[in-house]
Structure 1
Amino acid sequence: MYEIPELVTTYRLSKFGYGMFLNGGLALPTGPLSQIIEPSAGLGVGIEVAYRQNLLMAQTTMFSSSIRSGFTYHNQAWEAGIPVMPLIGELAVGHILQSTPAGRIIPYVGYRYFSITPRDHQDERFRDFSLKSHAPEAGLIVDLKLMNNLHKTDRSEDNFLFLRAKVSYSPLLTPEPFSGGIINFQIGLSGFSRIRKVIYQPRRTSITLPNKFM
């Protein structure tokens, strides 16, 4: 004879995960670019999708800056002191090189879009002014875990909250003076979740009967 006790619940981590990143950033121009634009501070938001230890990340950061010295580029005369709005868009792939109870280390490479436009779009002097650059980038992410629910077995997800520090470099593959490179520092909060598969299985046990019932 058999009896069926309560169902046994087991959890298995999914291969897929997802996350979001909110940050403050500082973009430092290098080379000829540093002569025409001031270092820029900004705010950004990003999302990421994980497959096992690999990440696909997309992020946009909008900055505030000004033109340091006047220049002419593609028949557009940019005057010194113009308030501008640099923007960096990133699409990258990374790999979780190390994951510990304290945090994660993630190197990554990808594509970077960079543009500069006047902040005042109503100013007729600079209407349709823009500078654009497409280039590769490489960087490193360090995540420090602030909290998680890893040991709470009543949850269907593994959730983590990180303090994220991120640094990257990308060149500007364009003629001078709009050339050089960008060092991009970012720090902020990141949330990440990996779905757990919940499996319910009955566990049968046998009952030995006395000989007189055999």
Structure 2
Amino acid sequence: VPGPLLEFFLSLGVNANSSQMFKLETDRAIICAYNFPAVLLTAGADYWDSHLKDTYLNLSKDYQIKVRRTFAYSLHEISRIIGPERTERDLVQIFALYLMDLDDVKQGILEHLAEFLSTLAVSSRNEYIPILAEVWDGVMTNWRLRDILAAQLRDIAMLFDAARVVEHVLPLAIRACHDEFAAVRETGVEAVSHI
């Protein structure tokens, strides 16, 4: 990737020029967030530490929900590209932050939860499985998010040994089977049959 082109892209994520119109500034951050995975894939993981990480971390905490939502939907792809060590060092905090964010942002994380967990080293992955119950409790007011999480349980179960699945994943699948919404119950039954 030519250096000037990469620098121009990264400048989209910086609000350096206060004289520009506010709308243009907000659009620049969204454009940068949307294209970030493709730029990282093209530039390569070697550019993460030297060029891309700081812009990514700054934009991932942007005040605009559209920017955070876009990053939430692509977090698993970014982690796949940069590898487990960089993911644990740089992205796990963003992952935890987005799990506590607004529902639109949280949905992006939940839809790709198993994919994100699969990019972590096994030892680190085992640290995060106990939070599944907390995540479920955090989405109790939104049946659609519970349905999304229930749909992820089958793939999440494939990432862990039987003891952890029985202790952490199966209870959530059973909770899904007893949910007040039929869609969540159906997804829970499907998850239990695969677990």
TM-score interval, smaller chain: under 0.3
Q: Which is higher, the Rg of structure 1 or of structure 2?
A: 1
What is the TM-score with the length of structure 2 in the denominator? 0.20
Normalised to the residue count of structure 1, the TM-score between the two structures is: 0.19
Name the structure with the higher helix share.
Answer: 2
Q: Which has the higher relative contact order, 1 or 2, with Cα contacts under 8 A spaced 6 or more apart?
A: 1
